[in-house]
Chains A and B, each alone.
Chain A
Amino acid sequence: MVVMTQTMEARHLAERVALGALFVGFLKVSLLGFGGGLVWARRIVVERQRWMDDQEFAETLTLCQFMPGPNIVGITTCVGSKLRGAVGAVAAVGGFILIPWAVGLSLGGLYLHYAHLAVLQNILSGLSAAAAGLMIATGIRLLMPHRSRRTALLFTALAFTGMAFVKLPLLVVLLGLAPLSIAVAGIASARAS
């Protein structure tokens, strides 16, 4: 009986969420989310549309962080896939990317056309300096939960140095450090338990 109710609910959900709604929902996430798209993804997916509850959203985010690629595109893919399968994923990702990409690329094309203007150059220099700072700060924020693990700080420093100063290819940094870092995490976890 419970199983039957669940499948009925699932079917009900699948019927209710139109592909257009997925497209528009993630178009909004994309357009509203200057820099911090995650805030808007949660607001629309969990609070407005109730496509997922908070726990499921958090689990999905973890999965996406565990995977390569832009996390926010991952959440978009997963929500679309959950509600309408492969077609839903395409609709959600399409909404997220298509229109904002075309608008952004046109603006960028305009910039390339007027790139010689000194004022524009100065504005972009300021923007770029601030944006670089925001990215460094995001890294620092992500590091905060790990600050008590000395080995984690060490591996953060090693990855930073390898990339920023030694200028190694990403693949070399990842393949070189990941096995060591995972092994150390495994030993630490075995000791703790």
Chain B
Amino acid sequence: MKSPSASVVLAAHLVLLSSISFGGFPSVLPDVHNFVMANGWVTDREFADFFAISQVVPGPNMILMMSFIGLKVGGIPGAIASALATFGPPCLMYYTAYRLWDRFRDRPWQQIVRRGLAPLTIGLVIAGGYVMARAGDVGWQSALITAAAVGLMVGTRLNPLWILMTGGVLGGLGFL
């Protein structure tokens, strides 16, 4: 499926999402997932694969993942449009906010807003991980890998790269 209008629709949706992606882009993953599924652009399998690739390639993971979706939907122009839609609006906001930062640094209302938004952000990040685990689910083995990754990441100071590689090796050996 390579259609310019689909790329535009996707980019427009990403502009909206990146503008409200408090807590980083992982928090909007479930919404992206629902959106591309509803449009029939990407399969569950592909979505999980895009996620996996973007996590092992160094660099801007989420921008890359959105570009893979854009690539699938509209080729290279689609990929570029998705990338710009993902980092463009937040960059403009960061730039503007950084200039205003001093003005409201010590205001108590800012702290209250932060304390109010933090739990939502966290819930969305965890939901992002959960939705990704479900999208790539191929049985109890993959659930086990996900659970082990959670345990190791929370409980140890192990470099996450080792956890990712172990998951990949187990998959390659036919554990899944």
Contacts and interface: CB of A to CB of B under 8 A. Distances in A.
B58 A31 contact: yes
A4 interface: no
B120 A159 contact: yes
Nearest to B54: A104
Nearest to B55: A131
B18 interface: yes
Given A69-B25, A129-B167, A159-B124, A146 B90 contact: no
Given A124-B52, A129-B136, A142 B58 contact: no
A133 B51 CA distance: 12
Contact of A74 (B51, B57, B59, B94): B94
A71 B62 CA distance: 11
B98 A63 contact: yes
Given A97-B60, A97-B87, A105-B67, A125 B136 contact: yes
Size category of the binding interface on chain A = 35 or more
Nearest to B21: A68
Interface in B40-84: 46, 48-64, 67-68, 71-72, 79, 83
B164 A130 contact: yes
A23 interface: no
A135 interface: yes
A133 B89 contact: no
Interface string A80-116: 0110001001000100110011011101110110010
B163 interface: yes
B112 A127 contact: no
Interface string A141-185: 111001001011111111110011001011101100110011111
A191 B37 CA distance: 45
Contact of B153 (A109, A128, A138): A138
Nearest to A154: B119
Contact of A137 (B90, B118, B131, B149): B149
A125 B46 CA distance: 10
Contact of B48 (A112, A128, A181): A128
Interface of A: 30-36, 59-60, 62-74, 77-78, 81-82, 86, 89, 93, 96-97, 100-101, 103-105, 107-109, 111-112, 115, 119, 121-143, 146, 149, 151-160, 163-164, 167, 169-171, 173-174, 177-178, 181-186, 188-189
21 contacts: A31-B58, A34-B56, A66-B114, A68-B20, A73-B90, A77-B95, A81-B99, A105-B68, A112-B68, A112-B71, A127-B171, A129-B145, A129-B171, A133-B147, A134-B129, A138-B26, A140-B126, A163-B123, A169-B34, A170-B28, A181-B120
Interface of B: 16-28, 30-31, 34, 46, 48-64, 67-68, 71-72, 79, 83, 87, 89-91, 93-95, 97-99, 101, 105, 108, 110-133, 135-138, 142-143, 145-154, 160-161, 163-164, 166-176
